[in-house]
């Protein structure tokens, strides 16, 4: 692949508001750059779609194009799934998922923008003759299972979980990175699929063209990753395991669950063995099943804090509670069971954030068992897919009630107070009138003191909105976009001129993107931009005209 290095973008290349600083990784289907957002002064990772087998850098040194007319179909298919994965990741918000911040289509290709992640991957954490405590492994397992629940709801899988794909950030929080859906979907149309799969971590169905990976595919890879963390050796290729079993030989990867002196509990080892079963249908079919196993087999006993921790999931089935409990246990060094119990009792009633890749290599196919399509879907379907699975979440979340601390914190009804004063006895009339004046004065003082606070809040939201506009985060990602901040301003001041003007700016920006996408023949992308613009100003006459024009273009 020596010639591939001639295809990378040089340092200083400008892509919109982003600047290439360095090359981080050159893959068979993409190039990852270390970039810099010049407007908001932040580091980013830029993933450029560049399938080397059927793409080449154009003569201008910037654009990407198919190598030949015969490569156009594969190139465009790969671009479609690359964009689909990026769009899905932009919609997922979860503390254990490295989501996409934005995706741009320029220069005949696409660029997925991701926040720069710093931390230690599991493959660097695992060292020879070093035993990772069960507490830490349980924390990692629950965190990643919770993340996979969100991913699988969106009808995609990760597809490439392995030790290098799980990062521990500076706070020790596990982060699922390097989604492989697009890469493997493209590889399936070439002769490179086997080379792209991680030996020992890839499940058997990923090697079979007639099979389509599903959620249990990710569980196999996650089980193999924890196997590596426990044994400090890479797992055997799944084909070797199947061959040994077919000859009546023992499975070389079965973890002993009853041997004395093991560093890990029998229950954890049973869970890993279940995830590692070669046959797809013999594995757990959902993250909830694995969490339930951990819940039903672990107790609150902490006789040996170094290797055994409380790993129960609450009765509602929420894995977030268990994960946070174990996480706190790690941070405080497992001081004592009583301390952990006190912390849990105090935090259990607090509301937790409801935060929440291999796309099918053959789009018409479905998941095993789930019968859930893995093919790229429309934005409306994606929105439905993002709805959280209520069956696996708490049905009733406790919301702290707020009570006013004093009469000065309540809104004062001046007329009511004055009526009460008028009907009072003459002996108390003077006192009541003085009380009314005092309360009215306090209310007025509160109104005056609130105005500066509101103005400061408005300024803060407008600054955040402008920052998002410059970064082209118009309506995505959900946690940080210009539309969100303008709405916050309008909630305080419905007539705020800057916020109302900002909404129009968002629509105008989308109109430009729609025009460019339509000229390039990317009508599906234009339709997606239109939907986002309509979510901002649905009655904008300009958008009605654009929708009619797109309808005509699609017919032609």
Res. 343: pLDDT tops 80 = no
The answer to which of 185-194, 258-267, 539-548 has the lowest mean pLDDT is 258-267
pLDDT at 315: 36
Bridge partners, residue 167, by sequence: 121, 175
Q: Tell me the domain boundaries of the chain.
A: 2-115, 120-392, 436-555
* Buried-state track 136-174, b at ≥16 Cβ within 10 A, e below 16: bbbbbbbbbbbbbbbbbbbbbbbbbbbbbbbbbeeeebb
Question: Cα separation of 420 and 415, whole Å?
Answer: 9
Res. 223: pLDDT tops 90 = yes
Question: Cα separation of 453 and 432, whole Å?
Answer: 32
Question: Cα separation of 275 and 284, whole Å?
Answer: 6
Span 196-221, pLDDT tens digits: 889 999 999 998 876 788 999 999 99
CATH architecture, range 2-115: 2-Layer Sandwich (3.30)
pLDDT at 434: 58
CATH code for the domain defined by 120-392: 1.10.510.10
Residue 442: pLDDT band (50, 70, 90) is low
Res. 241: pLDDT tops 70 = yes
Span 293-336, pLDDT tens digits: 877 554 443 334 333 333 333 333 344 444 544 454 444 443 33
Q: What are the residue ranges of helices labelled H in 36-93?
A: 72-91
pLDDT at 517: 81
Question: Cα separation of 325 and 258, whole Å?
Answer: 28
Q: What number of other Cβ atoms are within 10 A of residue 458's Cβ? A: 18
Task: Determine if the pTM surpasses 0.75.
Answer: no
Bridge partners, residue 112, by sequence: 47, 103
Res. 383: pLDDT tops 70 = no
pLDDT at 444: 52
Residue 40: pLDDT band (50, 70, 90) is confident
pLDDT at 117: 81
User: Structure tokens of 548?
Assistant: 């009619």
Res. 451: pLDDT tops 70 = no
pLDDT at 31: 93
Span 86-108, pLDDT tens digits: 988 888 888 899 888 888 988 99
Res. 381: pLDDT tops 50 = no
**Full strand arrangement of the beta sheet holding 100-106:** 14-15, 18-26, 30-37, 42-49, 109-115, 100-106
pLDDT at 196: 84
């Amino acid at each position: 692949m020596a010639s591939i290095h001639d295809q990378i973008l040089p340092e200083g290349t400008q892509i919109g508001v982003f600047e290439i600083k360095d090359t981080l990784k050159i893959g068979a289907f993409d190039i990852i750059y270390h970039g810099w957002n010049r407007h908001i002064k932040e580091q980013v990772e830029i993933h450029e779609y560049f399938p080397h087998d059927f793409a080449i850098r154009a003569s201008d040194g910037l654009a990407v194009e198919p190598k030949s007319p015969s490569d156009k179909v594969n190139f465009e298919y790969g671009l479609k799934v690359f964009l689909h994965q990026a769009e899905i990741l932009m919609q997922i918000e979860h503390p254990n998922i490295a989501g996409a911040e934005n995706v741009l289509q320029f220069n005949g290709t696409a660029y997925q923008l991701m926040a720069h992640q710093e931390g230690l991957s599991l493959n660097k954490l695992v060292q020879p003759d070093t035993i990772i405590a069960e507490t830490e492994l349980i924390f990692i397992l629950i965190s990643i299972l919770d993340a996979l629940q969100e991913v699988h709801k969106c009808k995609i899988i990760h597809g490439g979980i392995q030790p290098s794909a799980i990062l521990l950030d500076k706070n020790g929080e596990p982060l699922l990175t390097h989604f492989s859906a697009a890469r493997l979907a493209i590889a399936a149309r070439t002769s490179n699929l086997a080379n792209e799969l991680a030996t020992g971590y890839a499940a058997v169905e990923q090697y079979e063209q007639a099979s389509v990976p599903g959620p249990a595919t990710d569980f196999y890879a996650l089980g193999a990753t924890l196997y590596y963390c426990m044994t400090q050796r890479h797992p055997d290729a799944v084909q070797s395991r199947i061959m040994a079993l077919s000859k009546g030989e023992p499975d070389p990867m079965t973890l002993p669950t009853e041997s004395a002196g093991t560093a890990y509990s029998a229950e954890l080892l049973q869970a890993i063995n279940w995830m590692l079963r070669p046959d797809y249908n013999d594995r757990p079919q959902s993250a909830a099943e694995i969490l339930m196993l951990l819940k039903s087999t672990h107790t609150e006993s902490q006789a040996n804090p170094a290797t055994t921790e409380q790993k129960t999931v609450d009765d509602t089935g929420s894995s977030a509670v268990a994960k946070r409990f174990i996480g706190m246990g790690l941070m405080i060094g497992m001081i004592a069971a009583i301390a952990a119990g006190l912390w849990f009792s105090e935090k259990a009633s607090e509301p937790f954030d409801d935060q929440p890749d291999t796309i099918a290599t053959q789009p018409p196919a479905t998941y095993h068992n789930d019968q859930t399509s893995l093919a790229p879907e429309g934005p409306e379907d994606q929105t439905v897919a993002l709805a959280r699975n209520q069956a696996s979440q708490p049905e009733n979340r406790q919301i702290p009630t707020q009570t006013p601390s004093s009469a000065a914190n309540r809104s004062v009804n001046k007329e009511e107070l004055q009526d009460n004063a008028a009907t009072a006895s003459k002996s108390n009339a003077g006192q009541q009138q003085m009380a009314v004046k005092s309360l009215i004065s306090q209310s007025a003082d509160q109104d005056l003191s609130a105005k500066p606070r509101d103005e400061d809040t408005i300024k803060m939201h407008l600054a955040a909105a402008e920052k998002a506009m410059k970064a082209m985060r118009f309506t995505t990602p959900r946690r940080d976009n210009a539309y969100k901040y303008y709405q916050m301003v309008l909630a305080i001041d419905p007539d705020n001129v800057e916020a109302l003007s900002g909404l129009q700016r968002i629509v105008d920006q989308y109109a430009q993107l729609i025009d460019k996408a339509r000229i390039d023949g990317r009508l599906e992308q234009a339709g997606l931009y239109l939907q986002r613009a309509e979510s901002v100003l649905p009655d904008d006459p300009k958008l009605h005209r654009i929708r009619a024009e797109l309808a005509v273009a699609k017919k032609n």
